[in-house]
Structure formats: C-alpha cells, structure tokens
Amino acid sequence: MSDSSPGTVDLLGVLAYAELTAFLRLAEDAALLAPTLNDRAALGDVAATEYGHFRVLRDRLASLGVDPEEAMAPFVEAIDAWHAQTRPKDWYEALIKAYVGVGIAGDFYREAARHTTPSISALVDEVLTDESRGEFAVERVRAALDADPRLCGRLALWARRMVGEALSQGQRLAAARPQLAALLVGEKGEDLAEIGRMFARLTEEHGKRMAALGLTPGP
C-alpha cells in the first residue's frame, strides 16, 4: 500500500477535517463556555494545537498531489452531524466531549493507520497525540467532581453518549467509504478474533480515559 492509495487518502482526509472542526469547536467552547479567562486561554491553546495538526495533514495531502479540500469533502456531513448531535450544554460537558468523544474517534483512526505505511502511521500518531487536551480535561473535571460529587452521574452518562455517537459516526463513515473501512481490517481482511481484539483495545483505552477523569474506578 502506498501513501497515496485511496484508503490512505481517505484516512488523511477524514483526519484533516476532524482536526479542523476540533479547532473550530474548541475555540467556540472557549469563548462561550469557559468559566474564567484562564480557562478560556488554556482551551484556546488546545484549539491552536488542533489547528497545527490540521495544517500538517493538509500539507501532507498536498505533497501527495491530492487537493486537501477534495480529500475532506466526503466526511463533512458525517462529522458536522456528530458535532451537532453532541453540542455540550455547559463547560464540563465540553471537557468530556473533547477528551472522551474525540479520544475514541482517534482510537479508530489509529487502528486504521496500523494498515498503512510506516510514514503515514507515524503521522497519524503525531496528530492524534492528545496530551495537552487530556491533561486539561482531567485536571478540571477531577477538581469539579471533588467539589461536587453529584456531577459524576451526569458526566458519566454524557461520556457514554459520546462513545455511542462516536461509534455510530465510525460506522457511517465506514459504510460510505469502503477503502477507509478496509484499513480497519487490512487489505486481506482480519479474522473475527482479531476484530474482537481491536474492539477490546478500543474498550480498554476508553476505560483508561474514564478512570483518569474519576468517572469510573481505576484498575
């Protein structure tokens, strides 16, 4: 498989649009939902990081001779619909969405990248690094739960919704773009056991995020 194969271009295209919209949504959440100027500035920094990732993906697509806008276009409707369906009502829901919802979507893309070239896989790992977003969300959500434990139930429910919506989005994208779907199982297809292991990895990573937030017991 080459860096410019249809499945790889789809992967870079969906990631590019996901990063672009993450930047826009985080900037909006910072402006409208952040309770303090420090929070607004900190989330703005996270948004800027997402825009930097978008630029890296856009430039890689262009270097492959692919029009970035054309590569992103097939994914606009599904990603926009996901954001519309998961619009946070308050600051803490915004943090959960940024960490849990975006995180599990990123896990899918990492799984797809396992079946690309080493250079593309490394690029995907680079742009999906979420240390700043994760630390930001975990610190503030944990502080909020310490101050008001009653938030736990509502935020845990919201996190479960994020996962459900992210999985549904992944299924829609896979159905619409068979070349992208093929990356999840490899060109020759994986056996059911390997697909089961893939979902086990996704579940494990989600569990780690929930535990980090303090919404489920740790290991």
Could you please report the per-residue DSSP string of 85-142? HT--SSHHHHHHIIIIIHHHHHHHHHHHHTTS-HHHHHHHHHHT--HHHHHHHHHHHH
Burial class of residue 81 (count of CB atoms within 10 Å of its CB; 0-12, 13-18, 19+): middle
- The answer to whether the CB of 85 falls within 8 A of the CB of 54 is no
- This prediction's pTM: 0.88
DSSP state of 62: H
Whether the CB-CB separation of 7 and 173 falls below 8 Å is answered with no
The Cβ of residue 213 has, within 10 Å, a number of other Cβ atoms equal to 24
Which domains does the chain possess?
6-213 (1.20.1260.10)
Residue 39: the pLDDT is: 93
- Residue 105, amino acid: A
Looking at residue 23, its pLDDT comes to 93
The CB-side HSE value for 66 (13 A sphere, CA atoms) comes to: 24
Query: What pLDDT score does 177 carry?
Result: 82
Read off the amino acid at residue 189. Answer: G
Which amino acid, 26? Answer: L
Task: Give 159-163 contacts, CB < 8 A, sequence gap 24+.
Answer: 159/96, 159/100, 159/210, 159/213, 159/215, 161/86, 162/86, 162/96, 162/97, 162/100, 162/101, 162/104, 163/100, 163/101, 163/104, 163/206
Determine the pLDDT at residue 178.
Answer: 79
Angle between helices 118-127 and 6-32 (to 10 degrees): 10
Per residue of the chain (219 residues), what is the pLDDT tens digit? 677 788 899 999 999 999 999 999 999 999 999 999 999 999 999 899 899 999 999 999 999 999 999 999 999 988 898 899 899 999 999 999 988 888 888 888 888 888 889 999 999 988 888 666 788 889 999 999 999 999 999 999 999 888 888 777 777 777 778 788 777 766 555 555 666 677 778 888 888 889 999 987 444
* 134: nearest Cα among 216, 208, 218: 208
Q: Which pLDDT score, from 0 to 100, does residue 218 have?
A: 44
Extract the tokens encoding 75.
């994914």
> What local confidence, expressed as pLDDT, does residue 92 receive?
94
